[in-house]
Structure 1
Amino acid sequence: MEKLIYPINGINYILFEIELPLKFAKNFETRIKVVDGIIQQTKYIEKFWNRNVSIKCLIPEINMAKFKDL
């Protein structure tokens, strides 16, 4: 089982993973950067009619409410 909270330099980061359409991925990456998040992995998923992106990132616990509201 994977941990959900990672302490890095005294700050707790929450692991967050989402799969979304490619056209929304850039906006989501911008939201991660605004709250000082860390992108761990970006994986492109080719499907027959569309392309999706799976993004795995760490969001600071103190900025989680701000991240949700963006």
Structure 2
Amino acid sequence: MTNASHEAAPELIIRTERPEDIDTTHPLAARAFEGQPFTSGTEAGIIRALRASGDVMLSLVVEKSGRA
């Protein structure tokens, strides 16, 4: 039996999205749907419009080592 060195896993925090996260999450939403056979390419824009109208009920982000 050998001793394997283990690195500490980065701390992940799930939290409610903040306004300053939107510029990061918008392109991520666009990439998530990109190339899918069912996409219209408008999903990220729809999400942005829902945020602007106050119709998003829940949006979460994951922070890894302090970065969303």
TM-score (norm. length: structure 1): 0.29
More helix by share: 2
Larger radius of gyration: 2
TM-score (norm. length: structure 2): 0.30
More strand by share: 1
